[in-house]
Amino acid sequence: MKQAGFLEKFGSVYEHSSWVAEAVFELSADMASADTDTSTVVASFESVFMAASRDQQLATLRAHPELACAVDQRDQLTLDSAAEQSDAGLDLCSEAEFAEFTRLNTAYSEKFGFPFIIAVKGRTRLKILNIFRMRLQNDAVLEFQTALFQVCRIAQFRIEAILNG
């Protein structure tokens, strides 16, 4: 696979951060092979992202949307984020749930400097709210590491969907 095809296929697995796919392609010529297994591809992406500078990682964290964003902001979500949030029912929040997500999003962003990030696949909005409340209590170092891990989980799910259809 040529670089353009690789980037078209994998460029968006890290939210608005095609630099990850570009680096994976440059470092791993074998990634272009059709017989590369999913776990190898996931590991290559994670390795590049986790080895990046803190500034690059932070920019990727900040590229993520807030959860359960207002209706008038949903057009700002990538197709992947919109589908993932919808699958978790975040587009069906009650007024009270939406108000809590809004309050938590604001508090989290003010405390940590980036939006709350969680791989929502397989989780309900009530479970997500509970995790959100707990993680807001973390210190900055733990939460930065947790957010990086969650970004990698999101990318893993996206890569698996691309490769395993």
DSSP-derived letter for residue 91 is G
User: Which residue is listed with tokens 């670089």?
Assistant: 3
Query: How many separate helices (H) and strands (E) can be counted in the chain?
Result: 8, 0
User: Which residue is listed with tokens 């791993």?
Assistant: 28
Residue 161 amino acid letter: A
16: annotated active-site residue:
no
Among left, alpha and beta (phi > 0; psi -120 to 50; other), residue 113 is left
And the tokens for 134?
Answer: 């707990």
Nearest to 15 by CA among 54, 59, 48: 59
**Active-site annotation holder among 64, 125, 135, 158:** 64
Residues annotated as catalytic (active site), given as ranges: 64
